[in-house]
Structure formats: structure tokens, C-alpha cells
Amino acid sequence: MKNAKIISSGMYVPERKVPNQYFNELLGEDVDTWLRENVHIHNRRWCEAEESTADLCENAARQCLQRAGLSPEELDLLIIATDTPEYVSPSTAAVVQHRLNASKAGTFDLNSACAGFVTAMETATHFIRSGGVKHALVIGAYAMSKYLNKHDKKTVTLFADGAGAVLLSATTEKNKGFQAGKMVTKGEYADWMGIYGGGTHHPVSSDILQKNDHQLKFVKKFPPELNPNMWSAMAKDLASHMNIGIEQVDQFLITQININAIWETLRILGVPAEKAHTVMHEYGYTGSACIPMAFNEAWEKGKVKEGDTLFFIGSGGGLAFAANAFIL
């Protein structure tokens, strides 16, 4: 039976670096200290006015394909996970497919907010296992700076832009590739955080713009234990499915919005903090892109290697949760 194996990775962030000091000046108070001490964010990258999600995706895709030695024409499938798309319609994936000249690839976008990349990894896996796809490129992308209220301290200081890509290819190797997956949704939280204007419920209008409903909002504060409890439970479920101990997992790639939530998850699991590579320090919170970006950097730094067992665990607005296990 064919399985999906991770072959290569790539990432891209905009050149514009925004340090915490920018917000001290913008907001007229010291937010740098809080950001460094509480969420470990020092810098982030924002798109320039002429940059957009498709640009981020294209650059991450080209690096990923170049590292794999694969031409775009050899791709069978391109999935882009994002909730900051190039357009409402058509899909961002169609735009990127044309730019890459991936002429044989079918495409679609996937939106389960910041759980999107992990969800897309499993989706691509099922296409490969079905036998119709040999090479699938999965990209998580985020250009949330386009949707920020620059005077909303709760959002503007955290969110940033970037893209991460992985190439999944068909393999018949035993004990390699996708091993297990789990998805959970808690829809009762759907109106707690999001961008609520611009869709069919509240189409763009002068009223929507006046209320800033076209921008990202935290409406209610999430329980701090929610993510650690969900992430640790999903990790245990994956380990049980694989019939391994949680200590046998080599690296946990987890949504990067709150380093303390990541550490608390590992504390619950009883594994050391160094088993979860983090990238929010220099890149801020990059939503759908943060997990592939963390994976890419971990691979570049030698923190993951062939044969390692990896757990990818994501969560985002909705609330949507997704987790899957791969052996490199």
C-alpha cells in the first residue's frame, strides 16, 4: 500500500522586519517587555503593500521543490491552507499553480484557520494513498497583517506573515510516512475570534468598514487551559494509535501562538521542552504557516532527521484542532 512521505520543506517570510519597539512607539506604551517575557516574541515579518499571500506561497513552494529536485510539472496536487486568501474567489492555489507552471497539478484551498496546514497534510495523504497522486505540495500561508487594526493591542502585536511548504510523495517503504491522524472541532467557539465581515453573513459595506468587522478581532478570551488540554489529549491519541510511548516521539510541531501553552502541553505529556521547536521569537504568530515554518527550521538545524517520529498539532479559529503523526 502506498503512503505519503515528507520529502522536503521550504519557507518564506517577507523582508520587512517589525520589532517590538515599533509597537512601543505606535501604542505609546511598553509592550516589548510583555511580549518578550510572556509570549517570547521579539520580531515579526509583515508584507509590504504590494505583497500578498500568493507571493509568500510561490517563494516557499520554489524552495521546497528545488530542495526535492522536483520540477513543478511533476506535481499532481497543490493544496494551500490559509484563511487569508489572495481573493475570496478564485482560490489562491490556482494563482500559485499558474505562477509555478505546475500544469498537471489539481488545486484547491483549505480553510480550517490555523489548523489548516495539519488538516491539509492529512488530506494530501489520502489522495496519495488512493493511488491517483504521486507528488503533493502542501503550503500553509498567512498574511494576517492585511487584516489587523493597527491600534488593537490584542492582535497587532502578535500576528505576522509567512508561508511554509512540504512536499509529500508516494512511498512503499515500511514504517515511513503518515502514521495516524485526529481532527476535533469545538464550534461553540466560532464567534470568539475571527474576521466576521466580508463574507455572505456580513458583506462588505460602509457599516462593516466603520465597525472594523473586516479586521481580525478577539471577541472573548479563551480559557488558558483549552489548547494544552486539547493538544496533549490529541498527542496521546496519536501515540495510542501507533502503539508507542509518548517519550518515543522525537519532535512536536505545535501551533506557535503561545509558548507557555506549548510548554504546558509538554509538561502534561511528561517530555522535555526541547522536543518542541519554536519560531515565534523572530517570526511572531504566523497562523497556518507556523507549523511548516517550525518544521522547516527544525530540519535545517538538524533537530529532526530521517527516521524520526514527528507529531504535528494545530489549532485555530472555529475552534478547529488537527493532529497527525509522520515518520521521516
Dump pLDDT digits (tens) for 122-137: 999 999 999 999 999 9
Mean pLDDT score of the chain: 95
Q: Residue 117: what pLDDT?
A: 98
Q: Residue 206: what pLDDT?
A: 74
Dump pLDDT digits (tens) for 171-200: 999 899 999 999 999 999 999 888 888 888
Measuring CA to CA, which residue among 66, 204, 80, 185 is closest to residue 142?
80
| Whole-number percent of the chain with pLDDT over 90 | 86
Measuring CA to CA, which residue among 202, 194, 148, 161 is closest to residue 27?
148
| Whole-number percent of the chain with pLDDT over 70 | 99
User: What domains lie within the chain, and their CATH numbers?
Assistant: 3-171 (3.40.47.10), 177-327 (3.40.47.10)
- pLDDT classification of 215: cutoffs 50, 70, 90: confident
- Beta strands 309-316 and 251-254: pairing type? parallel
Place of cell 488538516: 119
Dump pLDDT digits (tens) for 44-100: 999 999 999 999 999 999 999 999 999 999 999 999 999 999 999 999 999 999 999
Q: Residue 199: what pLDDT?
A: 87
Exposure of 263 by Cβ count < 10 A (0-12 exposed, 13-18 middle, 19+ buried)? middle
Tell me what the mean pLDDT of segment 100-111 comes to.
Answer: 98
